[in-house]
Amino acid sequence: MPAHRIDKEAVAQQFRLDLGAAVRRFIVVEGLIGVGKSSLCRLLRDRWGARLVLEPAEDNPFLALFYEDKGRYAFPVQMFYLVNRWRQQEGVRQGELFSELVVSDYVFEKDRLFAEMTLDEMELDLYDRFAGALGESAPVPDLFIWLDAPTEVLMERIHRRQAPNEHLIEASYLEELRGRYKKLLAGWTACPILEIDNTDVNYVDDPEAMEQVLARIEAVLAGTERGASGFEDVPLGQTNLFTTS
């Protein structure tokens, strides 16, 4: 048995006391596949007692058909994802999942990024009607964390973990999706955005990296770093916090 055992509940309780008013916070962690979204979410769960809201894992019944005939099945595939994400986010909004801190590995607005890549003009117009109505009730995050790493690094990680169907992902797909995310970030005004380049930041196994990441997130939630433009004092990959306007 280890000589020193971390009391996770005590750590989480101290975090809640330290933040004071910064309770019942909602954080979203976004980025391309292989960038470490789920790992960061689980770190916040383990260290701060956050409640996790992870991407719905239900199998999309239209997905296999979509791969056979994308033009015909793109719309039902996208609507299935939209409704499932909305249902999950609605649970957050109604407080069914709320603890002092809730962390999700996606932002509701991401759904349209994928719709743009698969739907034709008429389908996208219809999609927007549904998404606009559903999105009105989606919870607004208090912090948007954007994780990024070079495409070649992501491709190496994807290849190394060999998850089902991920072998089909191409570098060009990641590049296009990153461009769409960047447009979303450029127009984001709902909350501050914390950008972290985690190319060489191992917050899974490196205790120092863990503490640096957690310190930045805590500072934003506590309001002590809001609006800052850089963090040269504590190197953490390439980290940037800014408030959109």
CATH number of the domain bearing residue 63: 3.40.50.300
Residue 197 is assigned to a structural domain of this protein? yes
Highest mean pLDDT among 83-97, 125-139, 213-227: 125-139
Task: Kindly indicate the confidence band of residue 120, based on its pLDDT and cuts at 50, 70 and 90.
Answer: very high
Instruction: Provide the terminal-to-terminal Cα distance of the chain, rounded to the nearest Å.
Output: 51
Residue 179 is assigned to a structural domain of this protein? yes
Q: What is the predicted pLDDT for the residue at 112?
A: 95
Q: What is the pLDDT of residues 29-51, one digit of tens each?
A: 999 999 999 999 999 999 999 88
**Residue 96: is its pLDDT beyond 80?**
no
- How far apart CA 92 and CA 101 sit, in angstroms, is 11
Residue 2 is assigned to a structural domain of this protein? no
Q: What is the pLDDT of residues 12-21, one digit of tens each?
A: 555 444 443 3
Domain of residue 161 covers 8-242
* 223-229 LR contacts (CB < 8 Å, sep 24+): 223/22, 226/192, 227/192
Residue 117 is assigned to a structural domain of this protein? yes
Percent of the chain at pLDDT > 70 equals 78
Q: How buried is 54 (Cβ within 10 angstroms: 0-12 exposed, 13-18 middle, 19+ buried)?
A: middle
Q: What is the predicted pLDDT for the residue at 165?
A: 67
- How far apart CA 224 and CA 40 sit, in angstroms, is 21
Residue 151 is assigned to a structural domain of this protein? yes
User: Are the C-beta atoms of residues 243 and 199 closer than 8 Å to each other?
Assistant: no
Return the higher-pLDDT residue of 144 and 24.
144
Percent of the chain at pLDDT > 90 equals 55
Total tally of structural domains belonging to the chain = 1
Q: What is the pTM of this model?
A: 0.79
Taken in order 45, 30, 115, 124, the sign of the CA dihedral is positive
Residue 3 is assigned to a structural domain of this protein? no
What type of residue sits at position 158? I
194 CB contacts (<8 Å, ≥6 apart)?
A: 143, 144, 145, 146, 216, 217, 220, 239, 240, 241
Q: What is the predicted pLDDT for the residue at 107?
A: 95
Mean pLDDT of 89-116: 84
Length of the chain: 245
User: Are the C-beta atoms of residues 23 and 101 closer than 8 Å to each other?
Assistant: yes
Return the higher-pLDDT residue of 226 and 155.
155
Residue 221 is assigned to a structural domain of this protein? yes
Residue position matching structure tokens 């790992």: 39
